[in-house]
Chains A and B, each alone.
Chain A
Amino acid sequence: DAGVIQSPRHEVTEMGQEVTLRCKPISGHNSLFWYRQTMMRGLELLIYFNNNVPIDDSGMPEDRFSAKMPNASFSTLKIQPSEPRDSAVYFCASSLISSSESSYEQYFGPGTRLTVT
């Protein structure tokens, strides 16, 4: 398996522009997570989906951020409009979670490094 795939790996954009980050989870996984990592705030959970349905988006910083999962093999995280403080590494992770098992592992993608100037 190719693992979790994220694109692009690097994104540089100007303030005010729309940014779309993409993620392809591992085939067969039923849960997908978006994280943001910065030196100041560490690793933050933004949103997670189970069976393509958003379960908890309380970590989404503000309305400028939105995420979708139209099918089991694709998700996007969109920032519109982008701001310099959105500069971070964004990770997507997937997992196979069952109701009877609590010890699930998360598989992380390589991340997208976003720089907003």
Chain B
Amino acid sequence: GDSVTQMEGPVTLSEEAFLTINCTYTATGYPSLFWYVQYPGEGLQLLLKATKADDKGSNKGFEATYRKETTSFHLEKGSVQVSDSAVYFCALTGGFKTIFGAGTRLFVKA
């Protein structure tokens, strides 16, 4: 079945450092890919998405490119802030279901 694998955390960075969180997927067909973010005490919210191969999703300085050849959707940000501290979930949709990765916790130090 469909699955999503993302790098284990926690990831700890200093403010203004470069961020990469790896995500790979297994799916039949052509899923859409997402990154969701969960801030402390809140539900998940959509960060960005890409619906087809080579699409780049971007939002709030974050970006991710749908790579069909490597079945990947890595999340990147050039300069993280303390306010980016959260848990990040990679996900794909196929049919009615959304398959979520395990989540990667990010800590950003001032």
Nearest to B42 among chain A residues (CB) is: A110
- Contact (Cβ within 8 A) B51 A111: no
Known: A103-B49, A105-B34. Contact between A91 and B102, CB under 8 A?
Answer: no
Cα(A105)–Cα(B32), bound, Å = 10
Known: A42-B102, A42-B103, A43-B103. Contact between A56 and B45, CB under 8 A?
Answer: no
- Contact (Cβ within 8 A) A106 B96: no
* Chain B interface category by residue count: 20 to 34
- Contact (Cβ within 8 A) B103 A108: no
Cα(A48)–Cα(B98), bound, Å = 11
Q: Which of A55, A102, A110 contacts B94, CB < 8 Å?
A: A102
B106 to chain A, nearest CB (A): 16
- Contact (Cβ within 8 A) A91 B51: no
A96 lies within 8 A of chain B by Cβ: no
Residues of A within 8 A of B45 (CB): 107-108
A4 to chain B, nearest CB (A): 8
Q: Which of B36, B89, B93, B97 contacts A103, CB < 8 Å?
A: B93
Residues of B within 8 A of A42 (CB): 100, 102-103
A109 lies within 8 A of chain B by Cβ: yes
B17 lies within 8 A of chain A by Cβ: no
Cα(A46)–Cα(B93), bound, Å = 16
- Contact (Cβ within 8 A) B43 A108: yes
Which 8 interchain pairs have the tightest Cβ spacing?
Answer: A108-B43, A103-B32, A103-B51, A108-B44, A105-B46, A42-B102, A102-B32, A43-B100
What are 5 residue pairs bridging A and B, where the CB atoms are less than 8 Å apart in the complex? A42-B103, A45-B97, A48-B96, A105-B46, A109-B43
